[in-house]
Amino acid sequence: MESRRPAHPTRETMNRDPIIVMQHQGVSYIKLDYYMRAASIIVNGEHTPAVCPGNQQWAMHDGIVESLAIKQPSQRVCIGWRLSDKYRGVVQFPETLEPDAITYDHDEEAYQATDATATYHPDFYEQVIEERQASPVAVEFLVIDRDCQPITQPADVTVDFPHSLREYPATWHRHPVSISGEALFARAADVLVAAVAARPNDFVCDDHRSIGTVTLHRYMNHEPRTREYKVGRRTRRDTQTRSRFEVMKLSKPRSSYTEGALVPPTLKAENWLALEPKINEFVNLVLSYIEPSSVGVCPHCAGDGFLLNKAA
């Protein structure tokens, strides 16, 4: 679907709340929205801010914001009328007319000569148009924090805002945050399944994320081992040098398959800076089960047993 966002905010869209601004180490961050892009902003009467790298919802200006204005689209203005080239030398009409010499009659849906006694006919003329740049519109702004830069809030992280700050969620990462066990499971499971897909000769996942569990299996090469099994009355034998076994199971906290599984708890911290390492620590724990040294063949079982070098 084609975007209908205007190239520049118009005066009609300027009737709005103040623009949110944050500052951090001499850089100002300006909150963008549907009607306002970085290219349409004028900072301190002369500067155009840049879009924040990795965060399209904010613009950044190297310095303190003292004023903000929004560029307006240029306007097409009729500055007169000229006789069309194909009629020059053919009719005895004036070659040029003033802008108000011809007006549009909405009832007749046609251009008419303003002076009813005029001898010229509007159909013989074309408008002379001039593009005029409209003046920028000054807008209000509000600096909500002078020591904070914007960070995108993950969709699965809940923020416990103080009541007085709920109006300004852009500072979410400075307040107590948490991530539920279900959301943490989703993060870790996504990363694990993707990592296993990149190593199909070593691992395989029973991927049942829809019911809240993912089971990691490892393929292991070992000494030849003979296996006997019955097919009807006949006994068959085969030799195995490669086996598949369960290494680890990951489950949601409220899943029916939590027995013997890693079950992520709800994690909390005083702010995002403290919570993010906790999230990464759990995800890295899950990924540690596919490290080369995590599993080995038991030297005493000749392929009947395996050593798991991780504490589940």
For the chain, which residues make up each domain, given as ranges?
7-74+133-150, 75-132, 179-308
Q: Are the beta carbons of 42 and 133 closer than 8 angstroms?
A: no
Task: Give CA–CA dist 305/179, Å, rounded.
Answer: 38
Q: Are the beta carbons of 30 and 60 closer than 8 angstroms?
A: yes
Return contacts of 18-21, CB within 8 angstroms, 24+ apart.
18/139, 18/140, 18/141, 18/142, 19/68, 19/139, 19/140, 19/141, 19/142, 20/141, 20/142, 20/144, 20/168, 20/170, 21/65, 21/68, 21/141, 21/142, 21/143, 21/144
Instruction: Give, rounded to a whole angstrom, the gap between the first and last alpha carbons of the chain.
Output: 49
Q: Is the pTM of this model over 0.75?
A: no
Q: Are the beta carbons of 269 and 176 closer than 8 angstroms?
A: yes
Q: Which of 87, 88, 118, 84 is nearest to 100 (CA)?
A: 118
Q: Give the per-residue pLDDT at 6.
A: 41
The per-residue pLDDT for range 279-294, each reduced to its tens digit, is 999 999 999 988 876 6
* Residues facing residue 143 across a β-bridge: 21
Task: Give CA–CA dist 159/152, Å, rounded.
Answer: 12
Q: Which of 28, 128, 36 is nearest to 80 (CA)?
A: 128
For residue 115, the SS3 value is coil
- ∠ Cα 117 119 120 (to 5°): 125
Beta strands in 172-270 (DSSP E): 177-179, 203-208, 213-231, 234-251, 267-269
Token couple for 81? 């009328």
Q: Are the beta carbons of 251 and 263 closer than 8 angstroms?
A: yes
Q: Give the per-residue pLDDT at 3.
A: 34
Q: What residues contact 281, with CB distance under 8 A and at least 6 apart? A: none
Task: Give CA–CA dist 171/24, Å, rounded.
Answer: 12
Which stretches of the chain score pLDDT less than 50? 1-8, 11-14, 303-304, 311-312
Please identify which residue in the block is written with the tokens 């009807």.
Answer: 232
